[in-house]
Amino acid sequence: MQLQPHNFSFPRSHRLSGNNQFAAVYQAKMRKNAGPISILTKPNDLPHNRLGLSVSRKVGNAIKRSRIKRLLRESYRLTQHQQPTAYDIVIVVRPHAPFLSLTDYQTHLLAALKDADKNWQHRQRRKSPPDKKPNA
């Protein structure tokens, strides 16, 4: 029996696009911070995550912002099989200097995603009605 290697692709269907999709994630109000990044998450009904990036001009000029976005996309792509699934994710970058390495971004991303997943699981447990035992 031969194991199939992981597919590390990042197709367009795994990306957030359009203001409505970003706004829905922002309105879910689940933000987790890790290093220079903040992630906002919202559960989706898909078998995979979708990613959106937000890097403001405060972070640097276009060259710096593009470099950070490339590093974050690559971090996401390489860690996608370790991430909790079925979330829409927006990564917001805060100004920081110097640039972090790819492995540092991966570490921050995974830590924030796992923390957000834990909080969403907690929210789901709180919202689900408790099991009532009949009085005998």
In a domain, residue 55? The reply is yes
How many domains does one find in the chain?
A: 1
Condensed to tens digits (0 to 9), the pLDDT of residues 50-89 reads: 999 999 999 999 999 999 999 999 999 999 889 888 999 9
Model confidence at 123, in pLDDT bands (50, 70, 90)? Answer: confident
Q: Please tell me the distance from the alpha carbon of residue 63 to that of residue 86, in angstroms, as a whole number.
A: 32
The CATH code of the domain that includes 104 is: 3.30.230.10
In a domain, residue 4? The reply is no
pTM equals 0.84
In a domain, residue 135? The reply is no
In a domain, residue 129? The reply is no
- Host domain of residue 72: 13-121
Q: Please tell me the distance from the alpha carbon of residue 83 to that of residue 89, in angstroms, as a whole number.
A: 11
